[in-house]
């Protein structure tokens, strides 16, 4: 199984972002959390920031839009050079049309589900997406605790992806640490976002390696 570790710069030193990107160059993608103070009660970065990060980052950008009206704003992030753009199902007006636009621009298209959001309406739409993000905390803030009740949903989506013979990446985000990553890997995740677990401490590369090992030690077994 391919394991992807995507550190979230939400937990990085915002005064030194280029340096902080350099410290995670052994990771797969850098996770960039876009929050608008409406969809979630927190405010982070916008488009000009992503354009600049894309220019200096040693690894591709994995943009997570926690914003209202992603139909309007999402394509701009793909045009800015994000490798993947993931929008929330709860916020999108026409998720399939938006995903097609993102792919047309050249980005991978992702759909994110909050912990309380049912996956059922999206299982038939899986071919339209390159990635499904199962939120393992309520979106809005780093440093929260992993919600294990989200794992049954993740496992259902993993089964649906396998049944359909698709290569949709399954991402988890929130409370992922060396202790919880194995639970998510066993349930079928292959792409792991970690903010505080990577940046808290003085050796992010070491933390990335530990997360990779912990995920690999807990392979997914379908049904």
Which CB atom, from 130 or from 173, has the smaller least distance to Zn ion?
Answer: 173
Asked about 167 being catalytic, the answer comes back as no
Query: Which entry of Zn ion, ligand DX5, none binds 194, CB below 5 to 8 A by partner kind?
Result: ligand DX5
SS3 98: helix
Which residue stretches of 81-180 are H helix? 95-105, 120-123, 151-163
Which CB atom, from 151 or from 159, has the smaller least distance to Zn ion?
Answer: 151
Q: Could you give the CA distance from residue 176 to residue 10 in angstroms, rounded to a whole number? A: 14
* Stretch in the footprint of Zn ion (CB under 5 A) among 12-20, 27-35, 99-107, 151-159: 27-35
* Residue 222: closest CA among 181, 200, 180, 190: 190
Q: Is 63 exposed, middle or buried (0-12, 13-18, 19+ CB in 10 A)?
A: buried
Q: Please identify which residue in 4, 23, 64, 153 interacts with Zn ion, judged by CB under 5 A.
A: 64
Q: Please identify which residue in 27, 34, 36, 64 interacts with ligand DX5, judged by CB under 6 A.
A: 64
Q: Does 78 bind ligand DX5 (CB under 6 A)?
A: no
Q: Which of 33, 36, 62, 130 is catalytic?
A: 33
Which CB atom, from 28 or from 33, has the smaller least distance to Zn ion?
Answer: 33
Asked about 159 being catalytic, the answer comes back as no
Q: Does 194 bind ligand DX5 (CB under 6 A)?
A: yes
Q: Does 65 bind ligand DX5 (CB under 6 A)?
A: no
DSSP code of residue 108: E
Q: Please identify which residue in 70, 74, 140, 188 interacts with ligand DX5, judged by CB under 6 A.
A: 140
Q: Is 165 annotated as a binding residue?
A: no
Contact 27, 206 (CB under 8 A): no
Number of Cβ within 10 Å of residue 30's Cβ equals: 26
Q: Is 159 exposed, middle or buried (0-12, 13-18, 19+ CB in 10 A)?
A: middle
**Catalytically active residues, by annotation:** 33, 173
Provide the binding-site residues for Zn ion, judged by CB under 5 A: 33, 64, 173
């Amino acid at each position: 199984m391919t394991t992807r570790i995507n550190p979230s710069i939400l937990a990085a030193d915002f005064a030194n972002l280029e340096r902080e990107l350099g410290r995670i160059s052994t990771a797969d993608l850098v996770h960039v959390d876009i929050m608008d103070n409406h969809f979630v009660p927190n405010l982070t970065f916008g488009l000009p920031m992503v354009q600049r990060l894309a220019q200096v980052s040693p690894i591709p950008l994995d943009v997570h839009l926690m914003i209202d009206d992603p139909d309007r704003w999402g394509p701009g992030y793909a045009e800015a050079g994000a490798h993947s753009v993931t929008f929330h199902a709860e916020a999108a007006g026409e998720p399939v049309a938006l995903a097609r636009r993102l792919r047309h621009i050249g980005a991978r298209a992702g759909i994110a589900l909050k912990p309380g959001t049912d996956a059922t309406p999206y299982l038939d739409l899986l071919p339209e997406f390159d990635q499904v993000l199962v939120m393992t905390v309520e979106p809005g803030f780093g440093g929260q605790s992993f919600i294990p009740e989200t794992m049954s949903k993740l496992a259902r989506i993993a089964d649906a992806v396998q049944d359909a013979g698709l290569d949709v990446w399954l991402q988890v985000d929130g409370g992922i640490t060396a202790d919880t990553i194995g639970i998510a890997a066993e349930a079928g995740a292959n792409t792991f976002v970690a903010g505080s677990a990577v940046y808290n401490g003085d050796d992010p590369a070491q933390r990335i390696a530990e997360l990779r090992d912990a995920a690999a030690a807990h392979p997914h077994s379908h049904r």
